[in-house]
Amino acid sequence: MADEKTSPTAEELKQKADAEFEASLEGLSEEEKTQKRAEKEAKDHSQIDYDAEIAREKERTRIAEQKLAETNFKLREEKRKKEEQKIEGEEEKEDEGEKPLTRQDLQTMLAANQRQLYQNLMGDTIKRLAREMTKSEAEANYVAEIYKNRIWPEDMPIEEQLEEACAIANRKPFMTAQRAEIDRAKKSKETSSTENLGTFKDSQPVEEPRLDANAKKALTGAGFTWDGKRRLYVKLVSKDRILTYDPKTNKRQVITK
């Protein structure tokens, strides 16, 4: 009985794709390979797992709502205790484990309540704008969840708020591409500097300068010839030493050959 063929796993498919990609880089320079790998990484990261991101944002919402509910409960309890104290005509000591709400706590709670109420009233508008700014329903839902978990300036139009939420949702592929571009620019700059340095060291020969006929005749008569690489007139004075003449400075110098 023949063995049943099993479908390759996601990891195996990824390994195969990576191997094929690396094979496609054969023949390219190191700089080109680096750029291609950066482009591939940016493309891979551009595939956002919206379900996972939405789940994360919903968890943040759950934690924020839980804290708000606890604050509201604490406020109601304090109000109830104060009313009881007035009725009984006596003050009750607060439990050591509990602290009264501060003015800042109260302001934060009221702001959160107002924000939650506003988002509930504007729910349909938020979803509509999110759909207009995104390419899929999953992305729109992710943007809407991000919007719910952020505190926006009161004077900022809701359209701009959704635009920023959309930018936050797509920050990962953008930043990956941005970092890849920065790395590519740095490597290109380093390569360019290295090439320029090599060009300086191995400079091309320079043509002989135009001299006065008498000066040129005197130099050739003295045994000098033009050395384009050194950009000097040179004359062999011994087996390993030469005499140089710089026509720009009229300076003569004996150097090792």
Whether residues 162 and 237 share a domain: the answer is: no
Classify residue 136: in a domain, yes or no: yes
Whether residues 250 and 142 share a domain: the answer is: no
Classify residue 38: in a domain, yes or no: no
pLDDT band for 213, please (50, 70, 90 cuts): confident
Domains identified in the chain, total number: 2
What is the average pLDDT score of the chain?
A: 75
| Dihedral sign of CA atoms 184, 189, 190, 192 in order | positive
Classify residue 194: in a domain, yes or no: no
The backbone torsions φ and ψ at residue 11, rounded to the nearest 5 degrees and listed phi first, read -65, -40
Q: What percent of the chain has pLDDT over 90?
A: 4
Q: Which of 169, 189, 224 is the last residue of a domain?
A: 169
Classify residue 40: in a domain, yes or no: no
Whether residues 158 and 226 share a domain: the answer is: no
Judged against a pLDDT cut of 50, whether residue 61 lies above it is answered with yes
pLDDT digits (tens, 9 = 90+) for 70-107: 777 777 777 777 776 766 554 444 444 555 656 666 56
Give the model's pLDDT for residue 194. 55
pLDDT digits (tens, 9 = 90+) for 163-200: 999 988 888 777 777 777 788 778 777 765 555 555 54
Give the model's pLDDT for residue 99. 58
Name the token pair of 228: 């384009």
Whether residues 228 and 165 share a domain: the answer is: no
pLDDT digits (tens, 9 = 90+) for 121-166: 677 888 898 899 888 899 899 998 888 888 788 788 889 989 999 9
Classify residue 10: in a domain, yes or no: no
Classify residue 69: in a domain, yes or no: yes
- Segment 114-118 shows an average pLDDT of 60
Whether residues 220 and 163 share a domain: the answer is: no
Q: Which of 152, 169, 186 is the last residue of a domain?
A: 169
Q: Alpha carbon of 132 to those of 91, 118, 154: distances in Å?
A: 58, 21, 22
Separation of first and last alpha carbons in the chain = 83
Classify residue 186: in a domain, yes or no: no
| Dihedral sign of CA atoms 130, 132, 134, 139 in order | positive
The parent domain of residue 115 ranges over: 50-90+102-169
How many Å is the maximal CA-CA distance in the chain? 126
Whether residues 55 and 163 share a domain: the answer is: yes
Judged against a pLDDT cut of 80, whether residue 114 lies above it is answered with no
Classify residue 23: in a domain, yes or no: no
